[in-house]
Amino acid sequence: MDAASAADWRGLAPMRARSEASNYGMDPEGDRALKRKTKWMLFGAAVVSLALVVTAATAGQILPAACTTAATTAQAASAVSAVGIEADKTSPPVVAPPVAEQLSKAFHDVARTVQPSVVSISTMRKVEGVRGRGPFIVPFGRSPLRDFFGDDFFDRFFPQPAPEEGFVQQGLGTGVIVSEEGYVLTNFHVIDGADEVTVQLDDERELDAEVVGGDAKTDLAVIKVDAGEIEGGLKPARLGDSDQLEVGQWVVAIGNPFGLRASITAGIVSAKGRSRVGLADYEDFIQTDAAINPGNSGGPLVNLRGEVVGINTAILSRSGGYMGIGLAIPINMARTIMDSLIEHGRVDRGWLGVSIQDLTEDLAASFGYDSTDGVLIGDVTDGSPAEKAGLKQGDIIVRFNGEPVKGVDELRIEVAATAPGTRVELQVFRDGKLQDVDVELGRLEDEEEVAAPEREIAGERLGMSVRTLTDDVAQRLGYEINPGGVVITAVEPFGPAARAGLRPRDVILRVQGVEIDSADDFRREIRRHDLDRGVRLTVLSGDVERFVILKSRR
């Protein structure tokens, strides 16, 4: 090594030695600095400790939680080290907040409590008709592909399967046990037209069921199983009070979506009082975002106390699957229908005999009325309870039996839910002042309507409901100019209208060539023809007119 190199090495050695000495406290200056740092660290630790003591004394939670977390972490680290994994490379365990734990337990308790009261319903229906069509289905007329390629080519490469005369159609739904005697509440559309109904209990035992009664106007039905066959008896669900539901409240839906038995989903009450959806004549739905899918129909919607507050009925969807909007019938409405079906096998509804409409600000002002609450009487049926009581066209019904009336749907439901023969007190606004009118309700017959004739049902034998096509409805359907006629609002699955190819939103323009302008016109013209032989309808679907032969249910 030359002199320069030796000098360089001697110059570096003391620097390295000084650095090492500082690390081990051999340098006086470094030692004093270390002591100063140590004092400040001890002081900081004392301050932190004092803060923890004060916080623990006031809250009583932080130190125990910290100790618990530290102990849990240490145990997890020890367990991980025992299997040869470095503890510092694993994620620490999560300590759930108490509120989350309580909510999870609430869901668990609801499931455990209500599930034994929920049943799966299977139905079988014998269908007389032809099933079996090829891949190219043309609703009307001959396939253009057949015309282009020719019959021989089309039949060779696209053979049509042999039609099957008569077949069995199976259905699936849900129900909830409501009594120890074996009564089960479900949706009407679940059991409608069924030849056989089978109930599967929560423990997978199967029982035959009979239909006690059904009500298409609310889409509710009651079936019954032989409770004597069940060892230990049945466990009915506890029914709650749907009037006490609040928007934002947690609810749980239980059912058999797509045949997946005893499925539970959770959500909140998104809205109350949903109506004019087109699913039933009397609508007052609870809207929820708890997932409801095909097979859930008829199952219970339950609050976190384990009380049934609704009967899951339908979803609003563009795809046919769950999109966040589920609808349930309030249990208070369902209970009234259920009791009537069990006692009488039918539903007797009150009848007032008026045509009513909602109030707008301009309409109310024209009558000198300063609110839009209430309903306006547009017409009074001759010989009806309303006429006998002295109600007049232009009266505004403000209260029904002391309760405020908000709109048409609310009044229709209240009147229909009141037993025929009951005397009710109406408060009406007439000629600038309020007055009370006593009315004895009549019995609502199938061809009558308590109110709002524009939502007239076109007869059970046709399997559909229609309403007058107003300018407002026409615009919502996409028509710049109202074509007139009536619009189909609901079609019963597998009913006469469905078999004829009619669908909701179709517009019926003419009956046997006669133009119609309202639901009353439609009903009057329908009654003039032999529906067993069929009647010709001119139907507007979108912007295409077509003819349909509609025959009644035999």
Give the pLDDT means over successive 10-residue stretches in the chain (554 positions). Answer: 42 35 44 58 60 50 43 46 56 78 90 94 77 41 48 53 63 94 95 92 92 93 89 91 95 90 92 84 91 90 96 83 88 95 91 88 86 89 92 93 92 92 96 95 68 40 84 84 89 84 91 88 84 84 81 68
Whether 342 and 222 have beta carbons less than 8 Å apart is answered as yes
Whether 393 and 362 have beta carbons less than 8 Å apart is answered as no
Q: Which two tokens stand for residue 359?
A: 């109030």
Note the pLDDT tens digit of each residue in 381-410. Answer: 888 999 999 999 889 999 999 999 999 989
* One CATH from 2.30.42.10, 2.60.120.460, 3.40.50.720, 1.10.150.130 for 350-443: 2.30.42.10
Q: Which residue type occupies 227?
A: A
Domain(s) of CATH 2.30.42.60: residues in the chain? 456-550
- Rounded-to-integer distance, Cα 500 and Cα 492, Å: 12
Of 122, 242, 263, 297, the catalytic one is 297
* H or E, element range at 5: helix 3-23
The DSSP output letter for 277 is S
Full-model pTM: 0.59
Of 117, 120, 215, 219, the catalytic one is 219
How far is the CA of 155 from the CAs of 148, 149, 390, in angstroms?
A: 13, 10, 70
- Rounded-to-integer distance, Cα 545 and Cα 434, Å: 49
Beta strands in 362-419 (DSSP E): 375-380, 396-400, 403-404
Give me the count of residues in the chain: 554
Query: Helix, strand or coil for residue 435?
Result: strand
- Rounded-to-integer distance, Cα 338 and Cα 332, Å: 10
The DSSP output letter for 445 is P
The string of DSSP codes covering 474-540 is HHHTT-SS---SEEEEEE-TTSHHHHTT--TT-EEEEETTEE--SHHHHHHHHHTS-TTT-EEEEEE
In sequence order, which residues have a C-beta less than 8 Å from that of residue 542 and are 6 or more positions away? none
How far is the CA of 256 from the CAs of 23, 176, 201, 416, 493, in angstroms?
A: 72, 12, 12, 32, 20
The reply to whether 344 belongs to the active site is no
Residue-level pLDDT at 460? 47
Q: Which two tokens stand for residue 170?
A: 């199976």
- Rounded-to-integer distance, Cα 196 and Cα 184, Å: 15
Helices (H) and strands (E) in the chain, counts: 14, 27
Of 117, 120, 122, 189, the catalytic one is 189
Whether 201 and 207 have beta carbons less than 8 Å apart is answered as yes
The structure tokens 């306006």 sit at 376
CA angle 75, 59, 101 (to 5 degrees): 55
- Rounded-to-integer distance, Cα 509 and Cα 469, Å: 10
Instruction: Evaluate the CA torsion angle 326, 330, 335, 341 in order and state its sign.
Output: negative
Whether 265 and 290 have beta carbons less than 8 Å apart is answered as yes
Q: Which two tokens stand for residue 410?
A: 């609310």
Q: Please check whether the domain covering 99-342 is classified as CATH 2.10.109.10.
A: no
Q: Which two tokens stand for residue 522?
A: 């439609």
The 10 Å Cβ neighbour count of residue 32 is: 11
* One CATH from 3.10.129.10, 3.90.1150.10, 3.50.50.60, 2.30.42.60 for 456-550: 2.30.42.60
Rg (CA), the chain: 36
Domain(s) of CATH 2.40.10.120: residues in the chain? 99-342
Whether 539 and 507 have beta carbons less than 8 Å apart is answered as yes
In DSSP terms, 307 is beta-bridged to: 238
Residue-level pLDDT at 94? 74
Query: Helix, strand or coil for residue 104?
Result: helix
Whether 410 and 333 have beta carbons less than 8 Å apart is answered as no
* H or E, element range at 472: helix 471-476
Domain(s) of CATH 2.30.42.10: residues in the chain? 350-443
Whether 223 and 197 have beta carbons less than 8 Å apart is answered as yes
How far is the CA of 336 from the CAs of 97, 139, 205, 218, 416, in angstroms?
A: 42, 42, 30, 11, 11
By C-alpha distance, which of 484, 486, 481 is closest to 502?
486
The structure tokens 């547009």 sit at 378
Residue-level pLDDT at 524? 83
By C-alpha distance, which of 543, 465, 460, 404 is closest to 277?
465
Residue-level pLDDT at 532? 78
Alpha carbon dihedral 330, 336, 340, 343, in 10-degree steps, equals 110
Residue-level pLDDT at 427? 96
Note the pLDDT tens digit of each residue in 5-32. Answer: 444 433 333 333 333 333 434 444 555 5
- Rounded-to-integer distance, Cα 41 and Cα 82, Å: 34
